[in-house]
Amino acid sequence: MEEVSASLRAALLEADDEYLTGLSSKGTLNRGRKDLQALSPSAQAQGEELLVTLGAETCTLRVPLGDSACTCPARGVCRHLVSAILWAKAQLGQEAAPSAAESPAVPSAAEGSSVPSAGSEAPAREAPAAKEEPPRVSLRDFTPLLDYPFEALRRAMGAKRLSRLAARLQEEGLPPMEEGSVVTVRLPWEPAVVRLLIPPEHSSCSCHSRELCPHKAEAILLYQIAKGRLEPGELTAQEEEVWDAQALRGVTDAVCGAVAAQLRTGVSRLPPSAEGSMERLAAMAHSARLPELERSLRAAASMLGRYFSRSAAYRDEALLSVLADVFDRAQRLHAASEGELAVLAGSFREEYLPCPPLRLTLLGEREFHAASGYEGRVYYFWETRENRFYTWTAARPTIYDTPRRRMTGAFQAAPWQLEGTMARLYGVSIELRDGRAARGRRLSSSGESRAAVTGSLDPWDALPPERQYTDFSRLLRDLRPHLPDGPEADRVALLLPRFCGAPSFDRVSQTFRLPLWDAKLRRLVLEVRYRKEEQAVVDALERFAEKAVRRRKQSAFLVLCSLDGDALRFYPIEVYAGWGRHGARPRPASLPAGVRLHAARPGPQGAPQRLRFPRRAGRGRSDGDARSLRGILGELSGALADLLQSGADSLPPESADRMEALARQCEDTGLHTGAALFTRLGELLQSGRHQLSPEPLPLAEAVSRAARYVTLCRERLALDAAEEDWNNETEQNETEEEE
């Protein structure tokens, strides 16, 4: 064979079966070796290249071998190129051997097959079996893989895939890798097999993509981490977005200016176009990648729309709370550093990250109807290993629905490739693998997730005794850290009441109430606000209460706790009849008509009559202080609502004196922060009367801080009042029993 260049000679001699498999595939390698037995190749050197003729096809071999070309129409490294590489390597091996002139051209023992010599028509003889050699150490330099730029890999993978990889590495560690002539990386979560070659552009993947696919990018990143070139923690650090500071400040300045102008003008003097202005600001926030600010602006626009349409659902306090949140968030974004921007900006769509294998059992479900045009059901699963709740939501749009097309939740198909409907998951244990969960432990119905039923499991056996609340005061202590805005999965609890009182219906607020008492006679009230969609829930609870006196069976309630204004609310998700009784199954609170529920266990004498009437809250020692605080907070909220309605420019002169008087009341009550805030507000109103064009931002900042302060005080007061009432009721009932 003619003389070839040194670089091509080295590449051909180094190309073993593993490398050729990485360039093409195992099948192409076997086909090329088989075809070579029936061919009589010839070669001609042309500079740095080698032309090999194989019958009707001509192959041009060059460095790197992946850039070689063939006259056949196949793309990439075809079987002709594989045959040409095998033949050329065998020829070079014969020239290097001392007995090359006396023996026919055959491939080396490492190739494991015979190759005919140039110009020979007879098939070559089999080479004698060689002794087994130790594993060949690769002489290839994989530095290009280690130096591959991270930005290119990040673009190929995408931000979501990169964050999922970081989560997998933290929980599962590195996947298996094999390093030889090529680096073989197996991705068990895809599944995919990537063979990394030099240069990296010639790497192959089981997805058959010739470009830098996400699998190849992921494999290169894993190799860099395995070699210590990159730390796993740097994946999330490198994921941070680059923010346009000028565009961001432009949006935040516009938002702060708009809110400040509305507070100086007053809602009563705003034109109807103010709603559209807030929508335009929301679009600007969307373009600047500020989703949380966008949501708040759209909420403000919706409330302004209710005001201009004279909707009964409009409330000054609600609009003021949203405007305060908008102004506060815009100010914090304006002053935030690059490290804080991602947290303050939020995300347009929450990412579902991989979670470890979960052992779940379904405990309850509730129906929801959102004003945004979606409805569905939220399912509550208990995880028996971690001892905490997970949720899964089945939602669908209702814009195209008609009354005939709507279906009940009983026909909801089970997720995670389970057979049957969700109703079959009650009373069983399921094992979920390759699951994904978002913040707040909200599970995804990803097609990659797999679940299997592992056996039967009663709910009272699934929950540990400490999570079956018979003491309502302990319930409040456990739920308090997650109120008011904690994840829904952390605000779910299972109650085992001692007594069940008589239900009542408030016609003014259209609210159904069912009181429950624990063993220490602490009262807790289940509340359902009447709507057409909640009719079945109310009917089921009424039937439940009818049996309270005649039945002696312990029942359980799965409830969702929330803070509504200055009151603690408990919504019934499920009612369990005969808790702990063998064979009992949970029955949803939204049962269809005709299905009967049992009641909670009555008292020793058939539930004392005094327990059947709700005890008036606030009979404790601090009742006067609580009423005083509620009154002051109501006055503070009313003063801010008047300012929102009339605007700072149209308030009467005595408004500044009113703010100062409220500040003195706050100081006398112990609300020192409130006193400072309303003193500042009074000073700004007083100084604004003597200026032609007062600066609007300081007033907007003072109003925003005062509104948020009042909201936080009301939330804290509601939690303290609930705990105080329960403690006072316990003391009073114990005193009555002693007497």
pLDDT surpasses 80 at 464: yes
- Report the C-alpha gap between 608 and 628 in whole angstroms: 34
Residue 126 scores a pLDDT above 60: no
202 or 421: which leads in pLDDT: 421
**What pLDDT, on the 0 to 100 scale, is given for residue 398?**
64
Strands (E) across 398-537 are located at: 428-433, 436-438, 442-443, 450-456, 468-469, 492-495, 499-500, 504-506, 511-517, 523-529
| Cβ contact 111:98 at 8 Å | no
Q: Which of 70-74, 286-290, 310-314, 665-669 has the lowest mean pLDDT?
A: 310-314
Q: Measuring CA to CA, which residue among 369, 229, 263, 399 is closest to residue 695?
A: 263
* Of 221, 73, 229, 246, the residue nearest 156 (C-alpha): 221
The residue among 676, 668, 677 whose CA lies nearest residue 706 is 677
User: What is the four-CA torsion angle of 251, 252, 256, 258, rounded to 10 degrees?
Assistant: 10
Which of 289-298, 335-344, 504-513, 615-624 is predicted least confidently?
A: 615-624
| pLDDT(684) > 60 | yes
Residue type, 67: D
- Residue 388 is predicted with a pLDDT of 93
Q: Are 340 and 726 in contact (CB under 8 A)?
A: no
* Contact status, residue 218 vs residue 80, Cβ threshold 8 Å: no
Model pTM? 0.56
| pLDDT, position 355 | 83
Q: Report the SS3 class of residue 179.
A: strand
Q: What is the tens place of the pLDDT at every residue in 9-42?
A: 888 887 887 788 878 778 888 888 888 888 888 8
- Per-residue buried b or exposed e for 660-679, using 16+ beta carbons within 10 Å of the residue's own CB: bebbebbeebebeebbbbbb
Neighbours of 52 (CB within 10 A): 25
Is residue 645 within a helix (H) or strand (E), and if so which, with residue range?
Answer: helix 623-646
Arithmetic mean of pLDDT, 69-92: 85
| pLDDT at 115 (0 to 100) | 36
> How is 28-94 classified by DSSP, letter by letter?
HHHHHHHHHTT---EEEEETTEEEEEETTEEEEE-SSGGG-EESSS--SS-HHHHHHHHHHHHHHHH
Rounded mean pLDDT, 269-293: 89
Please compute, for residue 188, the number of CA atoms within 13 A of its CA located in the half-sphere on the CB side: 10
Residue count (the chain)? 739
Q: Give the tens place of pLDDT for each residue, 436-446.
A: 888 889 998 87
Q: Sketch the domain layout of the chain as residue ranges.
A: 6-96, 143-238, 245-345, 353-399+414-457, 465-603, 623-735
Q: Is the pLDDT of residue 717 over 90?
A: no
Contacts of 288 (CB under 8 A, 6+ apart): 244, 247, 248, 251
> Is the pLDDT confidence value at 133 over 50?
no
Which residue has better confidence, 585 or 556? 556
Confidence band (pLDDT; 50, 70, 90) for 102? very low
Q: What integer pLDDT is reported at residue 725 of this predicted model?
A: 63
Which residues are bridge partners to 513 per DSSP? 504, 527
Candidate CATH numbers 1.10.4100, 1.10.3860, 3.30.310, 3.90.320; the one for domain 6-96: 3.30.310
pLDDT value, residue 257: 92
How far apart are alpha carbons 183 and 209 in whole angstroms?
Answer: 17
- 647-674 average pLDDT score: 87
Q: What single-letter DSSP state applies at residue 148?
A: S
The answer to whether 506 touches 513, Cβ cutoff 8 Å, is yes
What span, in angstroms and rounded, lies between the C-alpha atoms of 605 and 700? 61
Q: Tell me which of 3.30.70, 1.10.10, 2.40.50, 1.20.120 is the CATH number of domain 353-399+414-457.
A: 2.40.50
* pLDDT of 2 over the 80 cut: no
Nearest CA among 170, 179, 208, 178 for reference residue 192: 208
pLDDT at 381 over 90: yes
Contact 540, 526 (CB under 8 A): no
Average pLDDT, the chain: 77
pLDDT of 328 reads 92
User: Does the pLDDT at position 719 exceed 60?
Assistant: yes
Instruction: Return the amino acid letter for 187.
Output: L
Highest mean pLDDT pick, 91-100, 207-216, 319-328: 319-328
pLDDT for res 582: 45
Count of beta carbons in the 10 Å neighbourhood of residue 598: 23
Query: Is-contact 123 116, C-beta < 8 A?
Result: yes
Residue 151 is predicted with a pLDDT of 83
434 dihedral zone (left: phi>0; alpha: psi -120 to 50; beta): left
Would you call the peptide bond into 134 cis, given omega within 30 degrees of 0 as the criterion?
A: no
pLDDT digits (tens, 9 = 90+) for 162-171: 877 887 787 7
pLDDT value at residue 390: 94
pLDDT at res. 179: 82
- The mean pLDDT value for 709-736 works out to 70
**Rounded to whole angstroms, what are the CA distances from 607 to 92, 497, 581?**
100, 12, 21
CA–CA separation, 611 vs 614, rounded Å?
A: 7
Tokens linked to 237: 């650090």
525 token code pair: 């009230």
pLDDT at 114: 36
pLDDT, residue 7, reads 79
* 392, containing H or E segment: strand 388-397
Mean pLDDT calculated for residue range 576-600:
47
Look at residue 448 in the predicted model and tell me its pLDDT. Answer: 78
pLDDT value, residue 430: 93
* pLDDT confidence band for 52 (50 / 70 / 90): confident
**pLDDT confidence of residue 502:** 81
Average pLDDT over residues 651-679: 88
Going by pLDDT thresholds of 50, 70 and 90, the confidence category of residue 729 is low
- Confidence grade of residue 373 (pLDDT, cut at 50, 70, 90): low
Return contacts of 315-320, CB within 8 angstroms, 24+ apart.
316/267, 316/641, 316/644, 316/645, 317/637, 317/641, 319/267, 319/644, 320/640, 320/641, 320/644, 320/703, 320/707
**Which SS3 state, helix, strand or coil, does residue 373 take?**
coil
What are 429's strand-pairing partners? 455
Spacing of C-alpha 23 from chain mean position: 39
Q: Are 40 and 118 in contact (CB under 8 A)?
A: yes
